[in-house]
Amino acid sequence: MCEMPVNTPENPWKVSPEEERERKDLRETHLVFSIDPKGCEDVDDTLSVRTLANGNLELGVHIADVTHFVPPNSYIDIEARTRAITYYLADRRYDMLPSILSADLCSLLGGVDRYAVSVIWELDKTSYEIKTVWYSRTIIRSAYKLFYEAAQELLDGNFHIVDDIPEFRDLDEKSRQAKLEELVWAIGKLTEIARHIRAKRDRCGALELEGVEIRVQLDEKKNIHDLIPRQPLEVHETVAECMILANHWVAKKIWESFPHQALLRQHPPPQQEFFSELRECAKAKGFFIDTRSNKTLADSLDNANDPNDPIVNRLLRSMATQAMSNALYFSTGSCAEEEFHHYGLALDKYTHFTSPIRRYSDIVVHRLLMAAISKDKKMEIKDNLLSNKDLEELCRHINNRNRAAQHSQKQSTELFQCMYFKDKDPENEARCISDGVIYSIRTNGVLVFIPRFGIKGAAYLRNKDGLVISCGSDSRSEWKPGSLQRFQNKITSTTTGGESVTFHLFDHVTVRISVQASRCHSDTIRLEIISNKPYLIPDKELFHQSSLLLKSDLVKEVTRSVEEAQLAQEVKVNVIQEDYQKYCQTKGRSLYTLLEEIRDLALLDVSNSYG
């Protein structure tokens, strides 16, 4: 922390005269703004677009200049390298860099001067084809710190959202109108450019994959309000396409300058056998999925649309995502150029440049880009670049940290899903009943996806007593003696009385959600099919609103202090039964029951663990 710059009211940080001389100053010439999730503090990236004197367009991606504050092999650099990534959990984050950098001096906040590294393209005014590109260290002042929903409202022409944008609040009506028109034009033009870039990648076989992203909505006291699946917006894609473009061009630049020691990101093609379940599921709905290349896969997924049920396409894309190999960082000196390809994005070269506040890989890439610029200018390269061997070792470390971050984020979401339902009575609480979609058939049950909460899990059709599910004339389920018969795309439960019910792939069913506690493992979500019919919502309009931002009337505390948790554990430990004192054995279920549970684990969907 002794290496960190100071920014206090008494001693505010300022742009230095030396940096002002060396950098391109964009503060007065460019309308720069950021679009991020609500509450985002570590703003890595900003965007700009303007019309040039010759009528062409200029697109700019401006990224926080973290390497200015993090010299190679400094204490802060060694710590950032060790952490390698910022960990985002459901209710908190663990930063790669200290907050003075991540949330202040490196963060491209609105209305303040910041150092940036910019990639700026000149685009043809009609075709949006790239004519020139340049890279430079710059000084910017972001005019707006927008959140995604506000940017989407402006793009859609709903200007009432202006009241929620702080930068507009103190303006007179004339200035407000002029600035609003300028911002709306910029967002609209960025979206048009992004559509063109996306279409170009689509023609090469870029994949649009599906991942369920859940946001935990908390109040000020860290109590849980709701679990909200992320709503896809066009501005998400607009920002993403601009970042992908910058990453691609920086990858080409650093590889051209340092062909044997550049850090790139590869995404190898998946193994064909991993697509078998996807192909079988699509076949059940009458769709054919061609997996021979990323282009044929993308086209097949685009065509696999059920007009009566949009969830089908989401589930098929989710299965395609799970079949994918992991994208990995690598040193270009360690593999042949034909292996550089990024399968999912359909790009020949790709890297990560746009998030240096939260990814150490991007810091390495920034240093490589600065060295490439110095090389072009025939200047001395200030930083000693890593050799191929050292870079490959660093890539292995970053890849390991990335996997750890993905696992911890997934486990955190699952923990909060359990916490959300833990104190609710599944028999009486309305929110414990939801619509589910069957997406896989197993020997003694089905795997179900619950769109409302982004939950995937197993629903048994045979219980531990050997009874099977039966649905009467009212479609309500009950357990009766009988047998199960599994087919490729369906499973049939037949009672000894001759009643039968069949569950097909992609059937909608009504599911009860509860939490299953365990003495040995973390709590898990338990799903129970209570009707073989879809869940009917009494008030559709109310549900439409609640599916976006449902507020819980009964606010539940989900984050207890460490002291409380430890105290609870101590109380449990102190309650020792006489049998334990005498025989050192706990009272509980038999070994047979335990082995039965292990056998039933075959039902669980573990595919996400390897995604």
Whether 541 has a pLDDT exceeding 70, the answer reads no
Does residue 261 sit in helix, strand or coil? coil
pLDDT digits (tens, 9 = 90+) for 416-432: 888 888 878 888 788 88
DSSP-assigned letter for residue 112: S
What's the CATH code, domain 424-538? 2.40.50.140
- Specify whether the backbone of 466 is left (phi greater than 0), alpha (psi in -120 to 50) or beta: left
DSSP lists the bridge partners of residue 144 as: 33
What pLDDT was estimated at residue 572? 40
pLDDT digits (tens, 9 = 90+) for 33-83: 999 988 888 899 999 999 999 999 999 999 999 999 999 999 999 999 999
pLDDT digits (tens, 9 = 90+) for 172-205: 889 999 999 999 999 999 999 999 999 998 888 8
Please report the DSSP string for 187-245 in residue order: HHHHHHHHHHHHHHHHHHT--------EEEEE-TTSEEEEEEEPPP-HHHHHHHHHHHH
Q: By mean pLDDT, which of 151-155, 310-314, 338-342, 476-480 is the weakest?
A: 310-314
- To the nearest whole number, what is the mean pLDDT of the chain? 85
What pLDDT was estimated at residue 90? 83
The pLDDT of 367-393, averaged and rounded, is 90
pLDDT digits (tens, 9 = 90+) for 472-531: 878 888 899 999 999 888 999 999 988 899 999 989 999 999 998 888 888 889 999 998
Q: Of the candidates 143, 587, 509, 114, which has an alpha carbon nearest to the alpha carbon of residue 311?
A: 509
The pLDDT of 281-293, averaged and rounded, is 87
214, two tokens: 């859940």
The pLDDT of 384-411, averaged and rounded, is 94
Share of the chain above pLDDT 70, in %: 84
Whether 583 has a pLDDT exceeding 60, the answer reads no
Whether 604 has a pLDDT exceeding 60, the answer reads no
Task: Give 603's pLDDT tier (boundaries 50, 70, 90).
Answer: low
The pLDDT of 11-16, averaged and rounded, is 93
Calpha distance 5→431 (Å, rounded): 49
What pLDDT was estimated at residue 537? 67
DSSP lists the bridge partners of residue 264 as: 330
What pLDDT was estimated at residue 563? 35
What pLDDT was estimated at residue 549? 30
Calpha distance 265→340 (Å, rounded): 7
**Residues in contact with 549: Cβ distance below 8 Å, sequence separation at least 6, in sequence order:** 217, 226, 228
DSSP-assigned letter for residue 176: H
Tell me which amino acid residue 428 is: N
Which range, 45-49, 271-275, 542-546, 607-611, is most confident?
45-49
What pLDDT was estimated at residue 41? 85
Burial of 428: CB neighbours in 10 Å, binned 0-12, 13-18, 19+: exposed
Residue with token string 């110095």: 374
What pLDDT was estimated at residue 611? 42
Longest CA–CA separation in the chain, Å: 90
Domain ranges of the chain: 17-268+327-418, 272-323, 424-538, 550-605
pTM of the model: 0.82
What pLDDT was estimated at residue 210? 58
Does residue 88 sit in helix, strand or coil? strand
Please report the DSSP string for 35-51 in residue order: EE-TT-----EEEEEEE
Q: % helix / strand / coil in the chain, to the nearest 5? A: 40, 25, 35
What pLDDT was estimated at residue 476? 86
Task: Select the more confidently predicted residue: 276 or 48.
Answer: 48
13, two tokens: 């940080």
